[in-house]
Amino acid sequence: MRLIAAALLLATPLGAQAPQVTALKAARMLDVRGGTIVSNAVVLISGERVTDVGASLAIPPGAKVIDLGNVTLMPGLIDVHTHLLQNYDGNLDGDDPNMLLTVASIGNTRRALLGAAMGREDLEAGITTVRDLGNSGLGGDVALRDAINAGWVVGPRIVASTRALSAAGGQFGQIAPEAQSLIANEYAVISGVEDARRAVRQALYDGADVIKVIVNTDPRVVSLDELKVIVEEAAREGRKVAAHAIGTQATAIAAQAGVASIEHAYSIPDSVFAMMKAKGIFLVPTDYMPEFYLGIGSAAPNAEAQKQREAGVKGFTAASRARVRRALAQGVRIAFGSDEYYQVPGLTRGEATLRSLRAYSDAGMTPIQVIRAATTDAADLLGWSGRVGAIERLKYADIIAVPGNPLEDIRALEKVSFVMKGGKVVKQ
């Protein structure tokens, strides 16, 4: 092996030509950290990374110039909670039948191909990085991540979790004993501290960048001791833990164990928010507008049933907005996560994902708060703040362009006209 490495080194030309410089020009650029608009923006790119950025920068001779005109440049968006290898049919009325169908009928190989399609749709919408949190079969998310990194398929950067760790049954509903072998395709079931430790080690061996834990699927709950060991074992290898948790008990266990983020938390007390603030734990709300929830599932059988359904959605969304406001009031950091895994008629996966940003705004977050949740704050949660999340020197040239001023209208993010990932144009 040493001889091969030496031969390759000697074969590399010493005077290899430097990558061509690309200059992006636009009427405006959003400085996400400062929350300001830079006029007459120029971004210089060499290879995969930004080399300089500013107003009216001099463009080096010989640079390839891409003049985008009257648009605003922004860093590529980050979705920290998605499931690219799922695309559920709302007409099946619920997660349980969809999950069984996906696992039993589609299979791991076709799900990886589905993930490639969903990933490309995310990227073309302006989502250049995702954290894929389980429900990806046996290694499907890792295979997709590696295929994208190798250039075999086009898609976003992926932080992959492999199978989520969970108590018995995972997130499946009640299924017959003879069908329960399907559970192992989606979840690493743990029962006890040593089971938890082994599951983390297996996930890391399988290629996990992050560990996902289903803290509760009522009435099943992972214990505090189990989750502490999971966090400890993951941290030993420099990995973070994302915890699906809903309700007082589960969210408190997650916060006490010191996870990096609590996902969903549709019901959560202020006492847990206080712990999250003290420990720097992110909230990932995964919220949508009411019309999204009402658009999933078959039509109500009658007017009264539809009225009840609308009232239920209205109550749920109102409570969701209130818990975001409570989190902000206590200084809890928020990262954008869509938890998108349903087909939305008329929209690509990426378009449907970005519609969920409206819910963050509807909860009272200002446009710059929403944008930071999907850029700099999301990058901090991933541990990738040195790579992505802002248009800055030495970061990856993951850049999008939107019309108008996104600081005035967050819906501008739904109209991405240009996408660059790692210095390569994906959409123009």
Residue 384's pLDDT is what? 98
Identify whether the C-beta of residue 85 lies closer than 8 Å to the C-beta of residue 160.
Answer: no
At residue 74, the 3 state secondary structure works out as strand
Q: Are strands 127-132 and 77-82 parallel, antiparallel or unpaired?
A: parallel
- Main-chain phi, psi angles of 301, to 5 degrees: -70, -25
Residue 98's pLDDT is what? 85
Q: Which residues of the chain have pLDDT under 50?
A: 1-12
101 CB-near residues (< 8 Å, 6+ apart): 92
**Which runs of consecutive H residues, i.e. helices, occur in 243-374?**
248-257, 270-279, 290-295, 303-329, 349-355, 357-362, 367-373
Residue 218's pLDDT is what? 82
User: Whole-model pTM above 0.85?
Assistant: yes
* Number of CB atoms found within 10 A of residue 368's CB: 18
pLDDT digits (tens, 9 = 90+) for 93-140: 788 888 888 888 888 889 999 999 999 999 999 999 999 999 999 999
Residue 111's pLDDT is what? 92
**Which runs of consecutive H residues, i.e. helices, occur in 125-192?**
140-149, 183-186
